[in-house]
Structure 1
Amino acid sequence: MAEPSLTVLRRPSFFRRRGFLFSFTPTAFLAIAGLVSLLVAGHTTLPFEPVITLEGKIASKAEFFEDEQVQQMLMRHHIRVHLTQTGSREIAVHDVDQYDFVMPSGQPAADLIVKARPNAVRVYRPFITPLVLATYREYADTLVDAGIAAPQGNAGTLYYTLNTERFIDAMQRQVTWRDLLIDRHGIANGNKILAQSPDVCTSNSAGTYLGVIAFIQNNHSVPQTEAEADSLAASIKPILTGQGLPGADLFAPYVTPEGRGSAPIVVVYEHQYLAYQVQYRARSGRPDNDRVLLYPEARFETQPQFLALNPRADQLGELITRDPDLRRRAMELGFRVLDESGATASGQLGQFLQQQGVQPPSFAGNDTKTYLPGLDLLERMIKSVGGCS
């Protein structure tokens, strides 16, 4: 009797099983496709190169570094930024040794930092943004009726020119909105005319606004002596402190429905308003015609300064100043980008705004400039008006 024969059936290799091949093949294809795209883009080493994290202390320009597109652009250069946000003057008067860079919103605070570290700071100036007053159309039109402001362009414009001398005179005489007959525009408001600014002890915009008011009040000249600065500070203090407790961020409440009732005129930066209008237009299909800007006749352009405190931060300073993608993104966020000569590329910003369906402001016209007091005298006036330490 023949012995029975046995056939041994071998289990197929794990990698040859139908289920594995069915699930793995598409994944492998995507991985290969991704590798090919990295090869083409020249970023095959990107996931394997170390990313450095830079610690920065920054004022109101934090929104630039917090922008998602900016963060993605920086990651292509293996840079991540971690921010501590505070006021510009607060940056200048406190220790910053633990940071890689600081970025105050204007030159006075930057000068204080550089003065304390004359050989340890590299300065980069990527863009500028004018100081402006943000308000609502009914308030702007009331100022027009009183001869204090004038519209830039046709009816429905988003921008007005403010006669700063007449505005200061109205504030010093404690003129109210009711006195200017704002009720003709459907608003009931018996409060005194004031522009609300942040805390002058911490904020660049508030300190700059103080300097602008002082310059106009002093017959378009800066104080030259301590006695002159003290007298000037005392004369303008009531219109700077009569607003009550100042807020840290005035633009955020300005664009809320409640903003009109709490502070009808606020001191802000132009880029904040322009970026808001672009975003509003993208969401709603039209600009926000209720919120408008007042440009002081005697203009002042604030210049945020990136201060690299060590060699690690130099690369970031070079990038935000020279990289074409980062410069373009800064312009899209409302900043007037500077070229290597220090001139502004305002035309590009105007073209961008028109492409987005937002009226651009006038970039030409009155060349009257405002000048701030010297650093020591400005500090003295800030301390006098704000009671700062």
Structure 2
Amino acid sequence: MVVDTVREEQAIRQMTERLVENYTETYSPEHIESTVGAARQKFAGHPVRQFVPILIERVVRRELEKSPEAEVQPATVPMDKAPKPSASPSGTLSRLRDLWSSKRRFAPYAVGAVVILTVIAVVLAVRQPGPEAPAAAPAPVAPLTVVRGAVGSEKMPFFQDQKVIDALARGGVRVEVEPAGSRQIATSVDLAKFDFAFPSSEQAAERIQRQRNVTAKYTPFSSPMAVATFAPITDLLTRAGAVRPGPVPTLDLRRYLELVRNGTRWDELPDNTAYPVRKNILISTTDPRSSNSAAMYLAAASYAANNNTIVQGQPAEQAVLPAVSRLFVGQGYTENTTEGPFNNYLATGMGPTPMAWIYEAQYVEALMRGQIKPGMTLVYPSPTVLSRHTLVPFGETGDRLGRLLSTDPELQRLAAEHGFRTNDGAQFAKVAAERNAPVAADLLDVVATPTYDTLEHLLEGVTKTYN
């Protein structure tokens, strides 16, 4: 008897584990264990135990699958008045209970009857199909298509977001990305191993298209260029006539270029007690030879240096080069991606990085992460330029990703949560309002960048001044 009890306990434990595994998406383990316990009570005291675990499992499955078939209740009528056994498993079980609840003269034959009826019940339960039959196994899930690409570093947090990964998986793809400066992607990165390139501007994308002889492109989101700075710096530049205060302060690039051209130092500004540092007034940028954000800085500055006119033609290019070159060569060492100057801004504060040229999206995302400290602020250059993040596909898989990023509502919403402006302006406005982000609702002073060839000429001219 002890051996049988041990075997029964072991069988019920294994059966319970199996039920938990089968129904874990519908019921908690505690609920399933409770249902097993309740079913087990219905067979308490029965001397024939061989088939009890099987019968318990059938009762529990009916309960968990919410079969319309009524749950078996203990018999309450005398044996000689009870209905005859039915051909169904539930009828057989009811008859079994009737036999054991009877106190009449048929008691000597009860044990034998129970054995017979138990066997019949098990056979019928196995042979007769019913609503409690196990559900068919789910259809196999198609494997995800792996899509590899080189992307501007400012988009890495977006592609590393688990919600973005899940949304892409629902679209059937798994994206593997490597970060690089956008101009690096267009000039020095080996793109042969990738399915797409995703720089941060149309100019870099156009260069890639020319090199790879590709006409397709997608622009799922964009971001205006901005300056991450600090309230004391904004106050100083306001008094110097370079910043126009307002709900969203703006940096007058023409006045700023005058300060740079004159070699003005911070400690030379009047009434400067907040930042009396003996170094020139300069915005920290990336390396224009490798980074798109620096190229966008050059595009906006060249417009201001050219009397608020888009640079066009060699004479205009040569006229603005001396002014715009000073913006870069005076900085010393610069990094290849915007992560560098912006991370310095976040980590080290006003001392080494009083102003950093960044994508607006970087500031909004840092705000959402709680990385923006009191005193940090965002200023928009006037004029500014819009960086249009442009994906260039190299085949069907890259094209599939471009379509997903551009049209999938969930991915567009997640892009807005990462600070990017999507085709639906309401999405970005909602995120900005929820985070109380100090961003411009409407971009008014935005100018077009020079043509691809003109911008390349300007970048080549700046590059020569480094040597």
Q: Deviations over 1:287-325 (max 9, x none)?
A: 633111111121211100011110112221111111111
Which residue among 196, 203, 217 is the counterpart of 1:108? 203
Determine whether 1:180 maps to 2:269.
Answer: yes
Report if the CA contact (8 A) 2:391-2:402 is conserved. Answer: yes
- For 1:324 and 1:236, locate their aligned partners in 2 and report how far apart those are by CA, in whole Å: 40
Residue 380 of structure 2 aligns to a residue whose secondary structure is: strand
Q: Deviations over 1:122-156 (max 9, x none)?
A: 21111110011111111011111222112222xxx
- Kindly indicate whether the alpha-carbon contact (under 8 Å) linking 1:132 and 1:294 is maintained by their aligned counterparts in 2: yes
Counterparts of 1:205 and 1:296 in 2: how far apart (Å)?
Answer: 13
Aligned partners of 1:229 and 1:377 also within 8 Å: yes
Q: Pairwise mapping of residues 27-38 of structure 1 onto structure 2 (< 5 A)?
A: 27-30=21-24
Which of the residues 57, 64, 68 maps onto 2:150? 57
What is the rounded CA distance, in whole Å, between the counterparts of 1:245 and 1:183 in structure 2? Answer: 27
Q: Please point out which of 234, 239, 255 is paired with 1:166.
A: 255
Equivalent of 1:208, from 296, 306, 319?
296
Specify the alignment match of 1:332 in structure 2.
Answer: 417
The 1:263–1:81 alpha-carbon spacing in structure 2 relative to 1, beyond 3 Å, is: same
TM-score when normalising by structure 2: 0.70
Task: Measure, in 1, the Cα distance between the counterparts of 2:448 and 2:430.
Answer: 29
> Which residue does 2:244 correspond to in 1?
150
Structure 1 regions of 5+ residues with no counterpart?
1-6, 37-43, 154-158, 282-286, 340-344
Deviations, residues 1-40 of structure 1 (Å, cap 9, x unaligned): xxxxxx9x87987996233234443333315669x9xxxx
Is 1:242 aligned to 2:330, yes or no?
Answer: yes
C-alpha distance in 2 between matches for 1:308 and 1:168: 39
Whether contact under 8 Å (1:139, 1:182) holds in the other structure is no
2:380: which partner in 1?
A: 295
- Identify which of structures 1 and 2 has the higher relative contact order when contacts are C-alpha pairs closer than 8 Å and 6+ apart: 1
What is the alpha-carbon distance in structure 1 between the residues aligned to residue 378 and residue 240 of structure 2?
17
- The question of 1:350 aligning with 2:429 is answered yes
Task: Give the 3-state SS of the residue equivalent to 1:109 in structure 2.
Answer: helix
Q: 1:196 to 1:29 in 2, by over 3 A?
A: same
The DSSP-based 3-state class of the residue aligned with 1:303 is: strand
Greater C-alpha radius of gyration: 2
5 Å matches for 1:133-148?
133-148=227-242
How far, CA to CA, are the matches of 1:172 and 1:329 in structure 2? 42
Across the aligned residues of Structure 1 and Structure 2, the Cα RMSD in angstroms comes to 2.7
The CA distance in 2 between the partners of 1:104 and 1:144, in whole Å, is 34
Equivalent residue number for residue 119 of structure 2: none
Q: 2:13 aligns with which of 11, 16, 19?
A: 19
Judge conservation of contact 2:218–2:402 (CA < 8 Å) in 1: yes
The C-alpha deviation readout for 1:314-337, integer Å capped at 9, x for no partner, is 221111111111111111111111
Give the percent of matched residue pairs that are identical in Structure 1 and Structure 2.
26
- Counterpart of 1:117 (choices 205, 208, 212) is 212
Scaled by the length of structure 1, the TM-score of the pair is 0.83
**Structure 1 segments (4+ residues) deviating >6 Å:** 9-16
Alignment-derived partner of residue 371 in structure 1: 448
Counterpart in 1 of 2:192? 97
2 CA distance for matches of 1:15 and 1:77? Answer: 47
Q: Which amino acid aligns with 1:362?
A: A
